[in-house]
Amino acid sequence: MSKEEKHIEININEEEEINEENQRNADEHSGLRKASRILVLFILGLLAACYYIFVVELCMLTVEVLEAKVTFLVIFHLLYLLCLWCYLRTVITPPAVPPAQFRLSEADKRLYLSDERPEVLQEILIRMAKDLPIRNTRGARRAIRYCMVCQALKPDRCYHCPVCDICVLKLDHHCAFLNNCVGFSNYKFFLLCVFYALLMCLFTCAVSLYYSVLFWAHRLPNTESKVPIIVLFVITALFSLFLFLFFLFHFPLATWNQTARENSDDDGESNPYNLGCSKNLRQVFGNEMRYWLLPNFSSLGDGCSFPMRDATEDIEKNAALVGISPEDPLTCRSCQASES
């Protein structure tokens, strides 16, 4: 048995163990999905409540200076709409999955089912791996990774999400606040959502704090708007702290071209995808900076292959890889549908 075959065999055993664990936790994952749906509705309701308090109770009923009222409303609506737009894009964008060429064909499935010996599957996987752009096999065993659940070889940076029960390209993490996986197809939207939500909370917190102090100092009359404005300050202060810590964790990862999953699995090796801060950010936000702050898909690549630091010797090949920018990163779903 060759070295490559051993790696694949070991990895198959590991994936079987993961699959068994996923089956044991199926009820837990199902409960998490249901709770996540409720959490998304809660967040949308909270956004609606904050909108009402800021616009009606604070700006319309409390702020007396017209210039201040208009300024507050313009800034708040700009940040609010951008935050909501990015949040909804992150929630409704389906995770990108490995394209058809990474999955067992119907002929290979029939071949394996007719003779379920591990050697048969090994031969199939070795043949498939030779024709696929799998360039980085991380970990001590340097094994090609195969998912027993999805019956597919995993592209670079692809992981199986036990909650969604699919393999996700460039999986960052599964987010309960989104009821969705954050990965190649919506990573840019996620970062922008955190960024705009942080700005909106900081702005709302500062304005509501100012008028809360005026209420407590008796420089404003005691009206029914006092309590909602103080509640708004408390909520936005807590969310500002949470989002600031969240941003402090995720934005540096983007500048290092590293996902949260890769960061948690860090085995002490240098990150092969770190091309430098500028190129790393372009991988996520695209080459045209005018689109960086808009929640449109502009990330580079196809989600299966990524430029690596040790591949820079082949300049033309690496440049071509960096320049790929598909119009729809989810076309692999149609490939998958056509296969089934």
Active-site residue, selected from the candidate residues 150, 158, 175, 304: 175
CB neighbour burial string for 32-52, b if at least 16 within 10 angstroms, e if fewer: beeebeebbeebeeebeebee
Sign of the CA dihedral with 50 first, then 231, 238, and 74 last: positive
Nearest alpha carbon to residue 209 among 241, 239, 233, 238: 233
In DSSP notation, 218-281 reads: TSS---TTHHHHHHHHHHHHHHHHHHHHHHHHHHHHHHHT--HHHHHT--S---TT---HHHHH
Q: Residue 275's Cα: distance from chain center in Å? A: 20
SS3 assignment, position 168: strand
- Examine the residue annotation and report whether 147 is marked as an active-site residue of this protein: no
Q: Dihedral (C-alpha) 59, 60, 64, 66: value to the nearest 10 degrees?
A: 80
Q: What is the C-alpha to C-alpha distance for residues 75 and 207, in angstroms, rounded to an integer?
A: 11
Residue tagged 């079987």 (tokens): 16
Q: Which residues are catalytic?
A: 175
